[in-house]
Structures are given as C-alpha cells and as structure tokens.
Amino acid sequence: APLYVTNWNQFKSDLNLAKQMGIQGISVDVWWGNVEGEKDNQFDFSYYDQVFAAIKAADLEIIPIMSFHQCGGNVGDDYNVYLPNWIWTKYEGQSIRGEKLSSENLKYKSSQGNYSSEYIALWADEVVKNEYIDFMNAFEDHYGEMYREDIEEINISGGPSGELRYPSYNSHDKDTGYPSKGAMQCYSDLAQVDFRTAMLEKYKSLEGINRAWNCNLTNINEVTPPMDGDYFFYNNGSHSYYESQYGKDLLAWYNGALVTHGKNMLTYAETAFDEELDHIKLGIKIPGVHWQMASDTTPRAAEVCAGIINSDFSESNGYGYNPILKMISSFNGRVVLHFTCLEMNDYAGNNTSTPKTLVAYVGDSAAKLGVEIKGENALSGGNDAAYFWNNIEEAVSKHHYNGVTILRLRDVVEGQSYNYYKRLIETYRPSEETDTVNVNFKVKNAQTYWGQNVYIVGSIKALGEWNVDKAVILTPTKYSEWEVSIGDIPAYITFEFKFIKKDASGTVIWESGNNHVYTTGGDGGTFISTWQ
C-alpha cells in the first residue's frame, strides 16, 4: 500500500484492479508514530479503520506491518512520520547495566559520532519492550475480533525501514549510502558497555582479552569498537574485520545483538497477539545489502556494518546469514523471513554489487534450515522491464521463495507491469478451482508414552497453518507406527510441515530438525517419515 493514503478514490480503484490480477493481499505500514504519537497509551487507529475497510471491501487480505520505525529520509519515502516524541524522555534516569538512560542512549550512535532517531537502539530492549507490547496489544484489541479471518500475516519492524538491521547507510551519517560500506552503529555508551560485558563473559578478565587479541590494554574501558577509521576494514592488504580475533569477536557480538533483538521483537509479538490473532503467522524482513559483496578490498563490508552477517562468510554458515536464519527457525514455522532485491541484476550500476547472487545465497540457505522465505523488490519503479520479472521468477522457481511483495500498488496495476505480475501469479498461485488431492502421511518409530498422541501441522489450511491447536491427529496402525490421510490439499503445490507429540494436558514436543517440504502431484501421494 502507499506509505500513507491521500487519494482514496485512486486507492480503492487500485485495490479492485489488484483483486482482478489475482493479488492475494495488501501490506500496510501501521505507523507507531501515527497511532500513539500524541500521548503514551493513547491510541488512534481511525486512519487504519478506513484502510482496512477498503482492503476488505475489495476482498483482499490484510498484511499489517507493526512499523516501529520512522518514515522519511530513506529511498522511496514520500511521507514523513517520526517515532513518538515522548519515548525519548520517558525513561531518562533509569539504568541498564550501570548506564543511565538518556535520549542519546536510546539512539544508535555511529562511528562518525552521529545519532539516529529512526528506531530505538536495540540495547534498550529490556527497558522499552512494554512499549512494543502495549502497541501490539492495542492493535489486537482494536482489530482482533473484526479482522481475525482477514489478516494473512503480521510483519514486525526490526529496525530502520522496518528491516532487521542497523542504520549503517542512513541519512544521519555522511557518505555511507550505496555503494559504500556504510558505518558501524555501536558507539553509544550503552552499546560499548554491552560489548565490554560480552568480552569479559567470554574471556573472564582483561588479561584473557589481551591474550586473545594479542594486545596490551591496561583498562577495561579500552575495550571498544574500532576507533581507527577504515583501517579496521582494510590496511595494506589485511582485513581485521574478518581475519583478526578482535574482528571476529566484535562482529559475532554486533551480529549477535541484532539477532537477539529480532528474537525479542518476535517474542514480544507472540506475547501480545495471544487472543484473536494468536493463529496468524509473523514475518520479519532483512534487506538485500548487495553492494560491496564483490569488493576486492572490503568484501561483504556493507552487510557487516548493517549487522546482518558475522565474519564467517562460508557456505556452511549460510554465507553469514545462519545466525538470523537459525533464530527464525527456532519459532517452529510461525515466522516467515522476507528478503529484498529480488528484481535486480548482478553488477548493474556498480562492479561490487551482486544482488542476484545474494538472493540465491539467502534463499538456498533458508531452505536448508527449513525457514519459509518470501521476497520483494528493493526499489519501486522499473516494473515494466522484462528482466525485473524474470529475476523474480528465477528466485521463486530456483531458490525457494514462495511469496512475493511488490512496491507499490500503484506501480503494478497499470502498464506492462500489470501483465507481467498477472502472469507470475497465474503460474505459481493455484486458483480456487484447482483440483485437490489426498496425501497419506506415515510416521515410523515415533515413540510415545501412555496418553500421548502424534499430530501433523503445517503451512497450509489442511494442516492447520502452523496452529498446533488445529493440528491433525494421526492414528496408530501398529506399535510405533502412525498414519493419516488428509484430503483437500491443492494439487501441484509445495508446502511445509512437521510432526508433533501432544499429551492430554496439551504439552507439545516438536519433531527435531528442519521442516519437511513436500510437493503434491496430480494424484497426491504418500509421505513416510522416521522419527526416533
């Protein structure tokens, strides 16, 4: 949807065209600064009442984004809304790990010494978490009963632009945008205290840190992020950021703090959406930081500064993305990952930029860990070009992306883009008239105790859409073997599922390992699993 609707007739017309194309739903930024901007715990959803009513009237699904970030100042922003002003002073004087909170400590501070107010710094999560939960509780209270059957997924903002990242290439700093490596954002007092604490936990003492880093620090306050400018990234052929133990430790902490923040935000959402919306999947987005990937001097440095990878770029570590992917996987199928830049070609505009390669890296790595992944284009516009849609189709057909979001509605309901998008939908999304099939599921060696049963739950309606309360029970056919035949599964689709055990009290034990992935044919089929 538009960042903010001003032309309602145009919006409603575009929604009807979207429905005709076969588009499933519309994602909508629900701006924290708009809803709770005036006063703490005073919520005004009146604008979204109009937006959601228009989407439902067009028979489309709603995908709200809990937008805890600023709008304005980033590429494609044509609207401005800021974080609630009261948030910066509400917690003044409180302490985290001995540091008193101020408005500055709630913000990211960069290596250039600048502060970003686009998103609350993750090191303050433990203090401000109730602000996030209160906002999402208010959303459920207001819309849960009304739209529980119309909301397809709820996305959770994890940083600037709604992405799980640091503001490493944002406007508060100079000369850090594309195609530069950006600037690290861990220089606030709160961030540095957290880094020192993490290093003391790992190495037990300053002496242990000196041994590991081969240095001679004399005071724990000398344990800091790099103060040597760009030398940390490149100095006469050396790359401290991924070659030195100091660099590896710093990036493990920097990336790890971001991963923990992502887990926090998703956990807050699970806590808040505990009634009418507790069955709905959650989504979180990371950006396609595709520049500097092929750099000879600072490879992957832009992703490093954004915090989305650590210093291990190997395929076995998901090219750096496994920490985020494993965190998402820990939610047992409840969380969908969204990734950007699906439309772009490698080396288009910059010889260090390889977005198409990156899309493959992340999609393939997500699939290996059983993480459901969807994609979107990085920039609105350019939708009438054949390469734009060919690249998206390649991501879907070859790299496991099973959903697509396009920026923005106005860009796809007219021109050649309309035809390209409609064709993509017709190719990959089964129509309502698609034949359904039966699939037989058999589990061998699923050891259970008295009163415990085996169920199957998965990503499609017939398998409860990951809601364990709607999981389908299997029948024991002989000792340690269980099976069930499930109908009404669309033919020729790919879906994911897992087996679970539940006892009489409702306690759930998930099958370990990755999600099962199964593609139906025209005659259904049989899936056999061994669960020991």
* Spatial contact of 136 and 267, defined as CB atoms under 8 Å apart: no
Give residue 199's identity as a one-letter amino acid code: M
Q: What is d(CA 515, CA 367) in angstroms, rounded to the nearest whole number?
A: 9
Say if CB 273 and CB 292 are below 8 A apart.
Answer: no
Q: Are strands 475-478 and 508-510 parallel, antiparallel or unpaired?
A: unpaired
Q: Is 465 a catalytic residue?
A: no
Q: Left, alpha or beta for 454 (phi > 0: left; psi -120 to 50: alpha)?
A: beta
Give the total residue count for the chain: 532
SS3 content of the chain, % helix, strand, coil (to 5): 35, 20, 40
What contacts 291, CB < 8 A, 6 or more positions away? 178, 179, 180, 302, 350, 352, 353
- Active-site annotation holder among 118, 343, 376, 496: 376
Other residues' Cβ atoms within 10 Å of the Cβ of residue 471:
22
Please tell me what DSSP assigns to residue 510. Answer: E
**Alpha carbon 402 to chain centroid, angstroms:** 15
Let me know if 163 is a catalytic residue.
Answer: yes
Q: How far apart are CA 125 and CA 131, in angstroms?
A: 10
Q: Which of 495, 412, 519, 378 is nearest to 22 (CA)?
A: 412
Q: Cα(137)–Cα(262) distance, rounded to whole angstroms?
A: 19
Contact 434, 489 (CB under 8 A): no
- What gap in Å lies between CA 302 and CA 350, rounded to an integer? 14
User: Catalytic: which of 163, 343, 372, 511?
Assistant: 163
- Among all residues, which ones are annotated catalytic? 163, 376
